[in-house]
Chain A
Amino acid sequence: MNAIFDVRNLKRTFGGLAVTNDVSLSMAPGDRVALIGPNGAGKTTFVNLVTGNLLPNSGSVALGGEDVTRLGPTERVRRGLVRSFQVTRLFSEMTPEEHVALAILQREGRTGRMFASHRAMPDVMDEVHALLARLGIAHLARHRVSEIAYGQQRLLELALALALKPRVLLLDEPAAGVPQSDTARIEQAIADLPADLAVLMIEHDMDLVFRFARRVVVLAAGEIIFDGSPDAVTKDARVRQAYLGSYAYARSVA
């Protein structure tokens, strides 16, 4: 298999507790993988480890055949590994237009420019507005992020990841906190992603998972307990067991 994303035997402990325990996962271009699991299973930790935001105790991460285990987060992004955050991380004093422009300029290596304004770059501005329009937040382009609703901030969070034109995209609960009326936009934006992009989406909403994924990976207590087709996942005994109790609990707090 020509894996674009290849994680081998990743392990990370916090105070003796293995939060990620011998996790291996690889994706080929075009893959659509859903990563599910009860709260606290270690899904976000997995993303933090593979993006280089957190150091693993052991294991390796490769992108397009190149070992990036020893590279920092920015180097991995430049090699096409992009993530979104479960809890939005945005610049509260800046506008959506500035956010997306910055991502586009960074992708093109133009953030070193000191004597130009992004507003005077028609190619950048066109792309900014097309992307914001696609996510239905074009009308907010020039509002400060601190002034816009959380659901719309989630859409911007996704816009930022898309603007970087990744090869491997890791989405950490992109629809969490988004009002029902707006989840369709997120879903559509994800459905419209380039066909050769490898996407891994963490998601609790099983309806979304089944519409999106062609493969489901289940993480429980830091270990992969299932990796297979969406049809098989509901019938798997271990998965059911892992979700018994814990998933009911997760639903009640969400």
Chain B
Amino acid sequence: MALTMNTETLSTARDRRARLTRDAVGVLVILAVAVLGYLLFPNNLALLTRITAIALLVLSLDLVTGYCGVATLGHAALFGAGAYGAGIAAAHFGITDPIAMLAVGVVAGALAGLVSGAVVLRAHGLPQLVLSIAIIHLAHEAANKASGWTGGSDGLAGIMPDAVFGLYPFDLWGRTAYVFGIVLLIAAFVILRQIVRSPFGMLCRGIKQDPLRVRAMGASVHGTLIRMYAISGAVAGAGGALNALSTQVVGLDSLSFTLSAEALVMLVLGGTGSLYGALIGTLSFLWFEDVVSAANPFHWLTIVGALLIAVVLFAPKGLYGSLAALLERRGRTDR
């Protein structure tokens, strides 16, 4: 008995170390890519910061779609809520401390997550998708109409954030915004890796696979999904706030159907349900889009479309998912 207990604790310790190692590797890879981007494209930090903000949106989408199986084409509503929340706080209420603006964005995103979750979770499958599309159109229209607050189609201007911690002003080259964004992304990634592995995350994965079974275990499906939606909203809201901080304007495009759909495309491209896939999908899509649109401004959409079809047909689990599956198979035949 004592012996089994011992090996048990040993293996738990080993698991723990393995998990921490994997996450540490993840963080190091993000850092390495970030530094590489900084060194290779010092004049294009604005694009890199935008990629970082969108990465937060796609991570957030992975929480509800990849881990909970919710189909949504309206997720930019959560991102836009964060962007407008932070922007309005700065432009109308003089809240110009970047951390405070970020906090407002996170809260606005979480609230938007609660509201859209409450609507979207009423249905399943295609009707769910339609509800999510309705939400993003309503949100877009509301922001357009409330031009006194949002600047309407001209965008919300007059956002002038203070220096971060009073030390690092948002410079013309976008260095501060970039570093701020990368720190934010790493923090979000580490927290989310914890959450998806936790009992709560496990429950969400269970709901995705068989909600009836989850109910038969006595767990509340709706309550769990709503909580995940709020968390997802907080993350997307952080992305929106980052966008507002770095570009210092908020446009209606941050609350658009297009952005929602693109986020879903990026997630599928990278692979759902791992968080890693979300990051890889965002980076490859936006980088590819940038390169191809510069090289061939007339046909770039066609090329992006062709790439997507190729990925969906030949790597249906997405770039990361397929690679992980391949490695797993390798590992097994080696053994």
What is the interface of chain A, defined by CB distance below 8 A to chain B?
Answer: 51, 53, 72-74, 77-78, 82-83, 85, 89-94, 98, 101-103, 105-107, 110-120, 122, 125-126, 129, 160, 164
Contact = CB atoms under 8 A, between A and B. Distances in A.
A209 to B, nearest CB: 24
Contacts, number: 100
B213 A122 contact: no
B206 A91 contact: yes
Contacts of A72: 215
B61 to A, nearest CB: 19
A73 B198 CA distance: 24
Contacts of B5: 126
Contact of A118 (B8, B202, B213, B215): B202
Contacts of A125: 8, 12
Given A106-B217, A117-B19, A111 B203 contact: yes
Q: Which of A89, A117, A120, A122 has the most CB of B within 10 A?
A: A117
Contacts of A105: 199
Contacts of B200: 111-114
Interface string B181-224: 00000000000001101111111011001101101111111001
Nearest to B210: A89
A126 B205 CA distance: 23
A113 B213 contact: no
Interface string B1-35: 00001001100100110010000000000000000
B199 A93 contact: no
A153 to B, nearest CB: 12
Given A72-B215, A74-B220, A113-B200, 4 more contacts: A106-B217, A120-B16, A125-B8, A129-B8
B217 A91 contact: no
A166 to B, nearest CB: 10
B217 A122 contact: no
A224 to B, nearest CB: 25
Contacts of B15: 119
A116 B194 CA distance: 7
B216 A91 contact: no
A126 B8 contact: yes
Contact of B197 (A90, A92, A117): A117
A112 B204 CA distance: 10
A160 B212 CA distance: 14
A116 B198 contact: yes
13 contacts: A51-B216, A74-B215, A83-B216, A85-B216, A92-B209, A102-B206, A106-B203, A106-B217, A106-B219, A112-B199, A116-B198, A116-B199, A119-B12
Given A93-B209, A116-B198, A111 B219 contact: yes
A102 B198 CA distance: 10
A125 B9 CA distance: 9
Contacts of A94: 202, 205-206, 209
A164 B218 CA distance: 9
Given A73-B216, A94-B205, A122 B12 contact: yes
A83 B201 CA distance: 24
A219 to B, nearest CB: 22
Q: Which of A91, A103, A116 has the most CB of B within 10 A?
A: A91
B254 to A, nearest CB: 28
Interface string B81-104: 000000000000000000000000
Nearest to B227: A112
Contacts of A82: 216, 218
Q: Which of B8, B197, B206, B220 has the most CB of A within 10 A?
A: B206
A164 B214 CA distance: 12
Interface string B246-272: 000000000000000000000000000
A115 B195 contact: yes
Given A73-B215, A103-B217, A93 B8 contact: no
A107 B218 contact: yes
Name the 8 nearest CB pairs between A and B, nearest first: A77-B218, A91-B209, A89-B213, A105-B199, A113-B199, A114-B200, A111-B199, A114-B198
A119 B201 contact: no
Contacts of A111: 199-200, 202-203, 219, 224
Contacts of A90: 210, 213
